[in-house]
């Protein structure tokens, strides 16, 4: 098992692999680490391709811009209705959810 933070188990596997017994007179060679061979073969740049649907979704806003502007204008002019009781009830409900 490998520790996901320190990769301790992986280091032990690499070290034990490099300690393979060799016959007398043979040169000792170390095996490359697991990721070394694949790094050399990896492409130099990454590429991301989005589907047509994903491109369309990213270009179109997910909200009604005209409605948002109308609400902003109403708030600035003091004409947006605020129900303080409903706001207070929602705050109480949130507090109850937090406390469990």
pTM score: 0.31
Main-chain dihedrals φ then ψ at residue 99, nearest 5 degrees? -75, -20
Q: Which helix (H) or strand (E) holds 65?
A: helix 65-76
Produce one character per residue of 51-88: b if its CB has 16 or more CB atoms within 10 Å, e if not: eeeeeeeeeeeeeeeeeeeeeeeeeeeeeeeeeeeeee
C-alpha angle with apex 23: 37 to 28, nearest 5 degrees? 35
Per the document, the length of the chain is 100
pLDDT tens for each residue of the chain, 100 residues long: 555 565 555 555 555 555 555 556 655 555 555 555 555 566 678 888 888 888 887 787 778 889 999 999 999 999 999 899 999 999 999 999 999 7
């Amino acid at each position: 098992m490998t520790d996901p933070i320190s990769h301790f188990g992986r280091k032990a596997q690499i070290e034990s692999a490099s300690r393979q017994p060799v016959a007398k007179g043979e040169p000792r060679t170390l095996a490359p680490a697991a990721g070394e061979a694949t790094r050399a073969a990896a492409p130099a740049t990454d590429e991301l391709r989005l589907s047509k649907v994903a491109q369309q979704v990213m270009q179109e806003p997910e909200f009604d811009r005209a409605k948002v502007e109308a609400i902003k204008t109403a708030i600035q002019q003091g004409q947006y209705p605020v129900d303080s009781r409903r706001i207070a009830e929602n705050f109480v409900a949130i507090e109850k959810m937090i406390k469990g």
